[in-house]
Amino acid sequence: MILPSAVDWMELRYFILRRILLLIPTILGLSIFMFILIEAVPKAILVTPYINPHVQIPYIIQEQNALKLLGFNYPPPIAYLFYLDRLFHGDLGLMSMPGYPNSVSAAIIDALPNTIQLTIFASIVSIAIAIPLGTYIGARPNSVADQASRVFSLTGYAIPAFWLALLLQLALGKGTIFGNPFGVLPISGSYNPSLIPYPAPSWFVNGYTDPTHLVIFDSLIHGDIPLFFDALEHIVLPVLTLTYGLLAGILRFMRAGMVDASNQEYVKTARSKGVPEKLVIKKHIRKNAMIPTVTVMGLLVAGLLGGVVLVEYVFSYPGMGYLTTQGILSYQVWLIIGTTLVFGLILVMTNLVVDVVYALTDPRIRY
């Protein structure tokens, strides 16, 4: 009947602004933490990617130059300011891994869209399933469907993501188990390289695509339908793995919220007004049940971001997680610190969004 008035939107804007200002100390703290981690690494390892073996300049001099460049010839607090300055310029350090760009930032920019794509797809699928299902189950506590969902939630919470990924590869992956009729989905990468014509089209450079860096969307933009379907097939298993855990988490809180809300007094009020049962559940109970779910959303997303690293590793999906695990193997400190920082930023931003959504769902939390 009544839409939020203009005043509310103004208030909301101030709320968001204030929240963004509050982020600054957290992000600074994060950068300090990252710097402490960098300081803990031997300097010789830190400067390795800055040294070019093909140049005639002696190693010692190159090392000295690199240390000077990174500010490590100063005491740590000053060196931190150097680090901060480089962060402001988008410089996360260098790395040397075959097949990847030299700059950590460039590598992350190439990989980040894939990770975001996976998490967003998994989130959408989970939320789209969990909210109607949670409503249905929460309105019928202790029914058969409820018991089944509890088992599902429990296993979803307890199952290690990487093992689930391996299981799905075995069960649905192409070429894992001989004669498996369900084994139709590809198990590694984000597309099938043999579908790329030779020479590769101009929008396809070094395995990364323009303009979005997402094979699914870029192939659509450039009208390559077979590649589009192939990329879509490649995303199914990773998203399925991620969805399982997230769905279980949301479902668990949604159910608890529904059960809790349906015991509240205002539900009796609604019934006493003659609101039909379906509407009582949808309008009065569900709206309140969403509140606890939204509050834990930040935690669930943190779990999802952890899961995405493992899932990308198992499926060799070229996102940030895969990049990180590759960095572990060849000991790329700058790369790992850089991805950690970016993961942290993503989580901080997600929490901001969660806070705003929370304020929108629960009018009692007013800015």
Partner 1 sequence: MMQNSEGTKSDSDVYLRVEKLKTQFFTSRGIVKALDEVNLNIKKGEIFGLVGESGCGKSVTAQSIMYLVPDPPGRIVSGKIYVGNVNMLIGLDRLAKITIKSETNVKIKRNKRLIKRHNYLLSKIRGDRISMIFQEPTLALNPVLRVGDQISENIMLHLKIEMANAILRREMATRKDYESFVQKVFSIGDKDQRGKEILDWCENYSISDAEELVGNIFLTYQDPETIIKSLEFIVNERKSGTDINRLSRARDYYVYQQKLFEATLKLMEAEANGRQDEIESAKYELNEAKREGGTFLSFRVINIFMRRRIEAPLRDAAKRRVIELLTLVNISEPERAAISYPHELSGGMQQRVMIAMALASSPQMLIADEPTTALDVTTQAQILDLIRNLNRQMGSSVLFITHDLAVIAQMCNRVGVMYAGNIVEEADVNTIFDNPKHPYTIGLLRALPRADRIAGKMVKLDTVAGTVPNLITPPSGCRFHPRCKFKMDICEQKKPELDDLGGGHKVACFLYQEPGGSTQ
Partner 2 sequence: MANDTNVGGPILKSQTVKHRPRTEDFKHTFKLFIKNELAFVGFVIVLVYFAIAILDYVYPSYLGVRNIDTVASWVPQLASGVPGAPTLAHGWWYIFGETEYFAPIFPVMLAALKTDITYSVAIVITGVLIGTILGTLSGYFGKLYDEVLMRITDIFFSVPTLVLAIAVTTVLGKSLTNVVIALIIIWWPIYARLTRGVSLSIKSNKFVEAATASGSSGLRNVFVHVLPNVLSVVFVQFSLDLGSIVQLFAALDFIGFNQGSPLLPEIGNMLTWGTTYLVAGIWWPIVIPGIFLLIFTVAINLMGDGLRDVLDPKLRR
Q: In the complex, which residues of this chain contact partner 1 (CB under 8 A)?
A: 1-2, 5, 263-266, 268-277, 283-284, 287-288, 291, 361-364
- Exposed e or buried b per residue across 289-322, where buried means at least 16 C-beta atoms within 10 angstroms of its C-beta: bbbbbbbebbebbebbbebbbbbbbbbebbbbbb
Structure tokens belonging to residue 177: 């188990």
Can you tell me which of 120, 154, 279, 360 binds partner 2, judged by CB under 8 A? 154
Pick the stretch among 62-70, 89-97, 130-138, 302-310 that binds partner 2 (CB under 8 A): 302-310
**Stretch (H or E) spanning 55:** none
Pick the stretch among 78-86, 173-181, 197-205, 260-268 that binds partner 2 (CB under 8 A): 173-181
Contact 79, 31 (CB under 8 A): no
Beta strands in the chain (DSSP E): 204-205, 208-209
Question: Can you tell me which residue has the tokens 């990989």?
Answer: 111
In 3-state terms, what secondary structure has residue 14?
helix
**Stretch (H or E) spanning 298:** helix 286-315
Contact between 141 and partner 2 per CB under 8 A: no
Question: How many Cα atoms within 13 Å fall on the side-chain side of residue 361?
Answer: 20
Q: What count of other Cβ atoms lies within 10 Å of the Cβ of residue 249? A: 23
Look at residue 275 and give the partner it binds from partner 1, partner 2, none, a contact being a CB closer than 5 to 8 Å depending on partner kind: partner 1
Residue numbers 201-240 binding partner 2 by CB under 8 A: none
**Stretch (H or E) spanning 125:** helix 104-138
For partner 1, give the closer residue by CB, 235 or 258.
Answer: 258
Contact between 118 and partner 2 per CB under 8 A: no
Minimum distance from residue 212 beta carbon to partner 2 (Å): 24
Q: In DSSP terms, which residues pair with 205 in a beta bridge?
A: 208
Per-residue x/- mask for partner 2, residues 38 to 57, rule CB under 8 A? x-xx----------------
Look at residue 161 and give the partner it binds from partner 2, partner 1, none, a contact being a CB closer than 5 to 8 Å depending on partner kind: partner 2
Contact between 64 and partner 2 per CB under 8 A: no
Look at residue 333 and give the partner it binds from partner 1, partner 2, none, a contact being a CB closer than 5 to 8 Å depending on partner kind: partner 2
Contact between 25 and partner 2 per CB under 8 A: yes
Minimum distance from residue 277 beta carbon to partner 1 (Å): 5
For partner 1, give the closer residue by CB, 248 or 254.
Answer: 254
DSSP 8-state class, residue 186? -
| Rg from Cα positions in the chain | 25
Pick the stretch among 7-15, 54-62, 172-180, 210-218 that binds partner 2 (CB under 8 A): 172-180
Contact 82, 71 (CB under 8 A): yes
Pick the stretch among 22-30, 69-77, 141-149, 208-216 that binds partner 2 (CB under 8 A): 22-30
